[in-house]
Each structure stands twice: as structure tokens, then as C-alpha cells.
Amino acid sequence: MRKATKRAGGGGRPQSAPDAAPPASARRLTRLVAQFPRARVLVVGDLMLDRFIWGDVRRISPEAPVPVVQVTRESVHLGGAGNVVANLAALGARAGIVGWVGRDAAGGVVRRLLGDLGADAGGVLVSDAATTVEKTRIIAHHQQVVRLDRESCRPGAGLERQLARRVARELARAQAVIVSDYGKGTIHPAMLDLLAERRDRDRFLYLIDPKQPNFAHYRGATLVKPNESETAAATGVAIDGPRALEQAATTLLERWQSDAVLISRGEHGMSLCRPGEPPRNFPAAAREVFDVTGAGDTVLAIAALALASGGTLEEAAWLANVGAGVVVGKVGTATLDPDELAAAVTEAIEHARGRARA
């Protein structure tokens, strides 16, 4: 739904002051973006198919008080962990994926779309026991009218063991590993133990997008990216101000033993939190929000590529925040390319300079 985006610090709750200054020069940040195609990232997570039905509404149904959508077109996109892969590919990086689909039409579409991106889909297993997770969104006049979800049982123990073997095989070729956990069964405690143990040994970059019921099992990541509601659910702390934010972040850092957590906070931007340091706050980069579908996947992809390209955590978080501001201005499951990101970086730095002079 289209709405104006409020700046960090606005609206209701007291917020800590945003860090307006970029963490590096425009030249440094755009050079990092230019390095993205050199990175190889392994994504481990829940694959989905996002189907969009687009149309117009001109009347209300005589059968019930609901809009009648006159369908004009349909489109399909990779969802879940697949959208992380799509973001990586759009930014020029080499991406591999470990996950599963059902032996069904939707699973065939997911595999075709991965192939179209040039992603290494050798780690995608096909299940006879479960159907591919599919989400159908009906969009009219840039607004989501309704969403239809199709999903069945989770993959069994046999498929879980096969997925773990694929992950162990693929780790040696990746600079960075992203866990994209949507709670559909690909990510489970044994998988997370494997990744934490291998990261302890090999010290690869390791990023996690968390989800219940695995909050108790994440460990040893470079960066974990919960949103505000996930942070509250994982800690029991309502994020109603800077003190609560710092308390919740301290709890997560200790529990997850991660180098940092990046908490996405909607209209208030993002907060990067590290042990023993106050949160660094990045104000929301979007001017208007059309659709937040998949924005977290964009954040994860950009952060991983920035770190793999030699960026600091601050640079990775800042770039990810700017990239998210671009994709939420698009409708549907969206990505952005390096030119869009570089242009957004330049605009954000010019905006920050304008604020500093004001």
C-alpha cells in the first residue's frame, strides 16, 4: 500500500538520534558496490514461489462486499530464499542455493527461474512428500488486495540430512553464507549447529535472517538481521525507546554470540548493534513506500556483498539501508541493480550533506 515514509525520530515514540553522516566517502562506497560481482555467496533457506495477479478495480461485487478485480496480467518471481538469490544476481554476484521444492508445477517454475538467473541450483532438492510453498498476491492500483498461501507439511528427516550434506559440500566455495529462515523447515537446529561449527573453523562471513521457532539455535554469526517484532519476540522486550533497543540488542548479542545484530525498524530505519557499543542508527532511506515485500532479502544480500567486498559492518549496514529504500518504492517482489544502488548512494550522501549544512 502506498504511504509516505516517516523519517527516523518522527511519530510518537521517543527515538535515539539518527546518524546522518555516511560511514565513508561516496567514492569508497561506490567502489564497494563495483566489487560486488567478484563475490560468491551461498544461500541456505526456504524456497518459495511468489505469484502476482495484477488488475483494476472498478466495482464492488453484487455477491458480497468485496472488490471485483479485472485481471490484466500475471507474473511469477522467486520468493523466500530465492528472492535473496535474485537480489544477489541482480547486483552481479555469483550465488549458490541450498533448499528444497516439491515435485510439482510451482517447484518446476522455481528451478527454471533460478536457472534464468544463472544461479548454481545444484543444492536444490526435490521432495515427493511436500509441495512447494507458493504465495499468490492480488494487486490492484498498486495495492495488495489479498494474499493466498499454499503450503503443506515440512520436509522429512531424510531430506533434512540430504540438505545438510549439500551445505557441507558447498561451503568451501563460498565467501559468505546467508541463512534465509522463513520457518518452512529447511533451517533447523542440526543445520544451524553445522553452520556454527564450520564457521568456528573456517571463519567465513555468516549472515542470518532469523525466524521462530529457531531463535534459541542461532549462534556464531557475523551478522543477524531481525526486525523489530522479531527482536521483541526473541527477547521479551518491547522496543519503545532507545534504552529498550539497547537492552534488547545486548540480550541478542549475548544469546546469539554474533559479531553484530542489525535490527530493521520500519519507518525508523535500522540500528546496528555490537557488543560494548551504543547502537548506530540509520534513518529510513525511502521517501515513499509502495510495497515492503522482500525488502529484508535486499538488506541481507547487500550486507553480505558489502562485507565480502571488504566493507565494514557500518558500511554494509548503511548500503543495505539505502538499497532497501529503493526496493520498497517498487511494487511486488523487487530487486535493484548496481547502477540503481550507486545512484541511491550518491543521492543519500548529497541529502546528508544538505542536512549537515541546514
Q: pLDDT tens for residues 66-115?
A: 999 999 999 999 999 999 999 999 999 999 999 999 999 999 999 999 99
CB atoms within 10 A of CB 301: 32
Round to whole Å and give the CA distance between 52 and 73.
8
Is 19's pLDDT higher than 80?
no
In this prediction, residue 152 carries a pLDDT of 80
Which entry of 56, 297, 337, 339 is annotated as an active-site residue? 297
Mean of pLDDT values over 220-246: 95
Mean of pLDDT values over 125-151: 93
In this prediction, residue 10 carries a pLDDT of 32
- Give pLDDT tens digits for 261-280: 999 988 888 999 999 999 99
- Closest to 320 (Cα-Cα) out of 5, 49, 88: 88
In this prediction, residue 333 carries a pLDDT of 67
In this prediction, residue 17 carries a pLDDT of 38
Amino acid occupying residue 134: E
Mean of pLDDT values over 174-180: 97
200 is known as an active-site residue: no
Q: With contact defined as beta carbons under 8 Å apart, do 181 and 211 qualify?
A: yes
In this prediction, residue 21 carries a pLDDT of 78
Helix axes 313-327, 338-357, angle to 10 degrees: 100
Q: With contact defined as beta carbons under 8 Å apart, do 342 and 30 qualify?
A: yes
Mean of pLDDT values over 224-243: 94
Mean of pLDDT values over 127-146: 93
In this prediction, residue 14 carries a pLDDT of 31
Which of residues 231 and 153 earns the better pLDDT score?
Answer: 231
- In the three-class reduction of DSSP (H, G, I as helix; E, B as strand; rest coil), residue 6 is classed as coil
Strands (E), the chain: 3-4, 40-45, 47-60, 67-80, 94-102, 120-127, 133-140, 143-150, 176-180, 205-209, 223-224, 260-264, 270-273, 280-282, 288-289
Looking at every residue in the chain, the average pLDDT score rounds to 89
CB atoms within 10 A of CB 17: 10
DSSP for 57-110? EEEE-SSSSSEEEEEEEEEEEEEEHHHHHHHHHHTT-EEEEEEEEESSHHHHHH
Task: Phi first, then psi: give them for residue 224, nearest 5 degrees.
Answer: -115, 135
Mean of pLDDT values over 190-213: 96
Mean of pLDDT values over 56-60: 95
The angle at the Cα of 99, spanning 98 to 104, to the nearest 5 degrees, equals: 135
- Closest to 318 (Cα-Cα) out of 84, 24, 54: 24
Round to whole Å and give the CA distance between 207 and 221.
6
**Lowest model confidence (mean pLDDT) among 113-122, 177-186, 226-235, 331-340:** 331-340
Domains belonging to the chain, first-starting first, are 3-48+79-131+153-357 (3.40.1190.20)
Mean of pLDDT values over 40-53: 97
**Lowest model confidence (mean pLDDT) among 156-170, 190-204, 322-336:** 322-336
Contacts (Cβ under 8 Å, ≥6 apart) of 248:
231, 232, 235, 237, 239, 263
Is 7's pLDDT higher than 60?
no
Q: How many residues does the chain have?
A: 358
In this prediction, residue 177 carries a pLDDT of 98
Q: With contact defined as beta carbons under 8 Å apart, do 298 and 13 qualify?
A: no
